Structure 1
Amino acid sequence: MKKLAILASGSGSNAENIANYFKGKGIAEITLILSNNPNAYVLERAKKLGIPSFVFTKKEMNETEALLDAIKKSGAEWIILAGFLLKVPQNLLEAFDGKIVNIHPALLPKFGGKGMYGERVHQAVIESGETESGITIHYVNEHYDEGAIIFQAKCPVLKEDTADDVATKVHALEYEYFPKVIEELLLNDK
């Protein structure tokens, strides 16, 4: 069974969805949920799910080995970013080369990069007049949202859609596909 660590900065609905998807399947176990935000609701979700959690500061992440040490101590072999807003530091990229996966709420390479997350992405999609949006699941490298694309799924953007409407459609895609794509990656990881 593969062991996963999940990094999240906010609500953690994707983290909870992933944990519930793998519960009892014998494929993966979430060994740790980590957040840079001590007030993130993902920490409450971790507690309810019985998954250990770890809170760290941006300084600890970038200037110490605290984050890497916590992940290694948990036994995690893969890192999943589920609404994590900070750039992954080099020490994690090196220690988990090719085993850090992120989900982005748009069709990369459009609407990606620093500062493009959540509502901002959906608003940008609306303002640009796009007729479709979706999700991109990709490997993480040293640049925001530029790692190799693993999977994309699309949804229509109608003329009358608001950013909230697009967010609802994108969340549905996230919940449906993110755990399945992770599962496929794990099953192919020999």
Structure 2
Amino acid sequence: MLKIGVLVSGGGTNLQAILDAIDAGEITNAKVDIVISNNASAYALERARKHDIEATCIAPKDYPDREAFHKALLAKLQEKEADLIVLAGYLVAIPPMMVEAYPNKIINIHPSLIPSFCGKGFYGLKVHDAVLARGVKVTGATVHFVDAGTDTGPIILQKAVKVKDGDTSKELQRRVMEKAEWKILPEAINLIANDKIAVTDGIVSLK
């Protein structure tokens, strides 16, 4: 049974998609063991509690420096013996010490088709603002492993979503979540939980 730790900063819609997929049997051999947020008022924590999952806040402001915060976050995940870390709208940079502790065991959902509209500064509505400003016709979402860079780890799954004329950033964000993020994040977790993924030279293949 794969033990999952989910890190989230806000409402937790991707967390809900994971929980729903587990309840529906679309994710097998896995359970969410802990949900951690950097934001004590994040609704994601309430979603976790409703599922009888441990929910805790570990926030940078509660520690004397960034290193102490990073150590506390890592210690909590190790205490829970998490096998997979899922970043589901987590707006805090993952430190090298965590990447080293969990090689190819941290995944992130990004609201674009990497390598487009990704990297430093591209998060939340900013991604969709950039998509609309560039006038691309197709966007989407990407699930990838986390490495030392920003959105540079091996790509697991991608799903395309059409951009419609007259879209606002919020409309596009919602469509990308519904049509792509909420589908491929649970799918990727299920593949990992059932040992269906291999990573060779930075490229993901299905077993």
- TM tier, shorter chain? over 0.9
Quickly say closer, same or farther: Cα 1:24–1:122, change in 2 above 3 A. closer
Q: What is the distance in 2 between the residues matched to 1:24 and 1:170?
A: 22
Q: Shift of residue 69 of structure 1?
A: 1.1
Alignment of 1:31 onto 2:33: yes
Q: What is the distance in 2 between the residues matched to 1:134 and 1:12?
A: 19
| Equivalent of residue 175 in structure 1, options 182, 185, 191 | 182
Q: What is the distance in 1 between the residues matched to 2:170 and 2:96?
A: 34
- For structure 1, the residue ranges without an aligned partner over 5 or more in a row are none
Matched residues, number: 190
Q: What is the distance in 2 between the residues matched to 1:126 and 1:54?
A: 36
- For structure 2, the residue ranges without an aligned partner over 5 or more in a row are 198-207
Alignment of 1:57 onto 2:59: yes
- Is the 8 Å Cα contact of residues 83 and 105 (structure 2) preserved in structure 1? yes
Q: What is the distance in 1 between the residues matched to 2:115 and 2:55?
A: 32
| Equivalent of residue 145 in structure 1, options 137, 148, 151 | 151
- Is the 8 Å Cα contact of residues 158 and 184 (structure 2) preserved in structure 1? no
- Is the 8 Å Cα contact of residues 143 and 184 (structure 2) preserved in structure 1? no
> After the TM superposition, which of the residue ranges 114-123 and 5-14 deviates more from structure 2?
114-123
- Is the 8 Å Cα contact of residues 87 and 143 (structure 1) preserved in structure 2? no
> After the TM superposition, which of the residue ranges 60-69 and 92-101 deviates more from structure 2?
60-69
SS at match of 2:113: coil
Q: Can you list the C-alpha shifts for 1:112-160, whole angstroms capped at 9, x where unaligned?
A: 1222111111111001101011001101011111111111100111222
> After the TM superposition, which of the residue ranges 56-65 and 94-103 deviates more from structure 2?
56-65
The TM-score, its normalising length taken from structure 1, stands at 0.93
Quickly say closer, same or farther: Cα 1:147–1:73, change in 2 above 3 A. same
Residue equivalent to 2:93:
87
Q: What is the distance in 2 between the residues matched to 1:93 and 1:189?
A: 21
Q: What is the distance in 2 between the residues matched to 1:94 and 1:24?
A: 33
Q: What is the distance in 2 between the residues matched to 1:49 and 1:123?
A: 34
Residue equivalent to 1:11:
11
Residue equivalent to 2:201:
none
- Is the 8 Å Cα contact of residues 4 and 28 (structure 1) preserved in structure 2? yes
Q: How is 1:65-144 mapped onto 2 (pairs within 5 angstroms)?
A: 65-144=71-150
Among the aligned pairs, what percent are the same residue? 36
The TM-score, its normalising length taken from structure 2, stands at 0.86
- Is the 8 Å Cα contact of residues 23 and 29 (structure 1) preserved in structure 2? no
Q: Can you list the C-alpha shifts for 1:66-91, whole angstroms capped at 9, x where unaligned?
A: 11111111121110000011111112
- Is the 8 Å Cα contact of residues 6 and 80 (structure 1) preserved in structure 2? yes
Q: What is the distance in 2 between the residues matched to 1:114 and 1:9?
A: 17
Residue equivalent to 2:203:
none
Q: What is the distance in 2 between the residues matched to 1:103 and 1:62?
A: 24
Quickly say closer, same or farther: Cα 1:99–1:136, change in 2 above 3 A. same
Q: What is the one-letter code of the residue matched to 2:187?
A: K
SS at match of 2:107: strand
Q: What is the distance in 1 between the residues matched to 2:133 and 2:24?
A: 43
- Is the 8 Å Cα contact of residues 31 and 75 (structure 1) preserved in structure 2? no
Q: What is the distance in 1 between the residues matched to 2:84 and 2:160?
A: 26
- Is the 8 Å Cα contact of residues 68 and 92 (structure 1) preserved in structure 2? yes
- Is the 8 Å Cα contact of residues 133 and 166 (structure 1) preserved in structure 2? no
